[in-house]
């Protein structure tokens, strides 16, 4: 991870999909900020801007680039920080 990396997770506490991403970030030892959505309020303008298709959390924002869908985010994290704690098997069939 470059020291200039800026990582924000748009999430709300209690979301199992958000937790999947939090666990991946923790396993890799990646520092990040949380932008907490309020599940009792209407969706934030940030969420509506970043996930124009499903408008769902979690959204990972890496240096300003949004990545949506928790499994895709986990695969992205694993690929970008591949030097640390592999999350996904190298061979998806054999493992
Ligand atoms: N397939 C998505 C599911 C995400 C999802 O359902 N997020 C919920 C919170 S747990 C959400 O944002 N719901 C708001 C809505 O459905 O409008 C993923 O894996 O990221």
Residue 1 in any domain: the answer is no
Is 13 inside a domain boundary? Answer: yes
Question: What is the CB-side half-sphere exposure of residue 8 using CA atoms within 13 A?
Answer: 12
Q: Which residues pair with 68 in a beta bridge?
A: 59
Which among 37, 38, 27, 95 is positioned nearest to 61, based on CA atoms? Answer: 37
Minimum CA distance residue for ligand 1 atom 10: 15
Phi and psi for 47 in degrees, rounded to 5?
-65, -45
In a domain, 2, yes or no: no
Q: Best of 10, 54, 73, 75 to mutate for ligand 1, by most ligand atoms within 8 A of CB?
A: 54
| Nearest CA-CA partner of 34 in 66, 4, 56, 12 | 12
Look at the chain and report how many structural domains it folds into. Answer: 1
* Test site for ligand 1: of 57, 59, 72, 75, most ligand atoms within 8 A of the Cβ: 57
The answer to whether residue 67 is domain-embedded is: yes
Q: Is residue 93 part of a domain?
A: no
CA of 72 to the centre of ligand 1 (A): 13
pLDDT one-digit tens code per residue, 5-48: 999 999 998 999 999 999 999 999 999 999 999 988 999 999 99
- Give the CATH number for residue 71: 3.40.30.10
Structural domain harbouring 46: 7-80
pLDDT on residue 95: 67
Q: Is residue 86 part of a domain?
A: no
Would you say how long the chain is, in residues?
95
């Amino acid at each position: 991870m470059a020291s200039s990396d800026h990582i924000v997770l748009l999430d709300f506490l209690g979301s199992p999909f958000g937790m999947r991403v939090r666990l991946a970030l923790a396993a890799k030892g990646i520092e990040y900020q949380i932008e907490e959505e309020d599940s009792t309020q209407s969706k934030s303008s940030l969420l509506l801007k970043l996930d124009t298709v499903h408008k769902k959390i979690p959204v990972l924002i890496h240096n300003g680039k949004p990545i949506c869908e928790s499994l895709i985010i986990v695969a992205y994290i694993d690929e970008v920080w591949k030097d640390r704690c592999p999350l996904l098997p190298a061979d998806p069939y054999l493992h």
